[in-house]
Amino acid sequence: MFFPKPSNVTLKSLSTLRRRFATALITKPFPDDPTGAYYDEVAADAVSSGDYSALRDVLNKRVQDGFNNNKSSFSFLTHSNCSPSLIDKLVETISHLNEGYTRRNALDLLVARLCKIRRREEALRVIESLARGGVCVPTAWTFYPILRSLTRERSLDHARGVVDLMAELGIGLDQIGYNVFLKAYCYAGDFDEAAGVLRKMEEEGIAPDARTFDTLVLAACRAGKVDGAMVILRRMVDDGVPMLYSTHMYVIRTLLRMKCYEHVMRYVRSFVGRDKLLDAELLGVLASKLVNLKKEEEAMSILVEMKQRGVPMGYKLREFYKMNARKKNGARVGGVVEEGGNGV
């Protein structure tokens, strides 16, 4: 497709935009204080009326006004109207947007929208069209919606093909990209490939982050290899990598499923006392799960610790604690009375 030489389009003034939209198929007047949602509506109306110059002006103006393009900017594009001609018009429009952030951001969001409606081939065509001649140079971030979509469907051969295309454009995988593949291999139970991803990361000097370890812990837990998960957790602690909340939940759920109640209580207690919010989450979740499993003694042990540490309880946990505390106190008092009576 032929593109005219790209130029840095001057942003239209508010009054010019008002005049343009007043003559287009847009019924609402252009407000003095527009919102992001209003720009989305104007963009959709511009496409509906076939006025792609107006679409270009809207996409430029909204960024100037501080309303960055977002996931709704191309929501007018649906599976039913995603024709090659419409895609070509959108590509041409993006090629004439202001250079830099505005143009690249529009490319990223158009690709993301196409992936959302399961039109990955069109998304790749858009990237290649705009990358040609340096009209809009994509980044690794541009490709992530495509890679995530493919790996979720376990189309790993196609995903590796996308990585090859990235390499042709001089774009390599970064930490996020490697994590996408690592997650896919772990979910598929292909731990040899996952180990290969980790080796590749290390070879390229890319350190695993919290999401990398989170994926590995999940994989180990799903495979029932809790010991392996603990080894990964120890490495996280040694490397000073902050642990995600979800990482804790994988371990807690797995240990409870295996009926390792003492182990899960020790695990949670090993992490409390450092962050009050985390204390409330870990202790509260564990106590609730123990109550649901009818492990009253273990639940009370956790609740007593919560009370001692001043960790707030939810309504149901408070009521459970009060009821069981009364039972325990009543039994203790009854025992004392009985002993006193026998001594008289």
Q: Could you read off the pLDDT of 80-118 as tens digits, one per residue?
A: 888 999 999 999 999 999 999 999 999 999 999 999 999
Asked if 168 and 198 sit in the same domain, the reply is yes
For residues 129 and 5, state if they share a domain. yes
C-alpha–C-alpha distance, residues 339 and 344, integer Å: 9
Residues 195 and 144 in one domain: yes
- The pLDDT value recorded for residue 317 is 94
d(CA 109, CA 61): 17
Q: Are residues 1 and 133 in the same domain?
A: yes
Distance CA 307, CA 49 (A): 64
Tally the domains of the chain: 4
Whether residue 125 sits in one domain with residue 5: yes
Q: In whole angstroms, give the CA distance from residue 344 to residue 337.
A: 11
How many Å apart are CA 246 and CA 253, to the nearest integer?
10
One domain, residues 175 and 212? no
Whether residues 215 and 169 fall in one domain = no
Residue 177 and residue 166 in one domain: yes
| 103 and 59 Cβ atoms separated by less than 8 Å | no
Q: Kindly state whether residue 231 falls inside one of the protein's structural domains.
A: yes
Domain end residue (candidates: 184, 206, 228): 206
d(CA 101, CA 260): 52
How much of the chain, in percent, has pLDDT values that exceed 70? Answer: 86
**Tokens matching residue 250:** 């994988």
Assess if residue 325 is contained within a domain.
Answer: no
| Domain annotation covers residue 306 | yes
**Residue span of the structural domain in which 240 resides:** 208-258
* End residue of a domain, out of 91, 113, 137: 137
pLDDT recorded at residue 35: 81
Question: Is residue 66 one of the residues assigned to a domain?
Answer: yes
CA–CA gap between residue 128 and residue 130 (Å, rounded): 6
Beta carbons of 289 and 320 less than 8 angstroms apart: no
18 and 118: one domain? Answer: yes
pLDDT score recorded for residue 89: 95
Is 0.85 topped by the overall pTM? no
Residue 183: partners with Cβ closer than 8 Å, 6 or more residues away: 151, 215
Same domain, 111 and 214: no
Statement to judge: residues 38 and 103 lie in one domain: yes
Spans in the chain with pLDDT lower than 50: 1-15, 18-19, 21-27, 333-344
4 in helix, strand or coil?
A: coil
Asked if residue 253 belongs to a domain, the reply is yes
Q: Is residue 193 part of a domain?
A: yes
Regarding whether 1 and 128 lie in a shared domain, the answer is yes
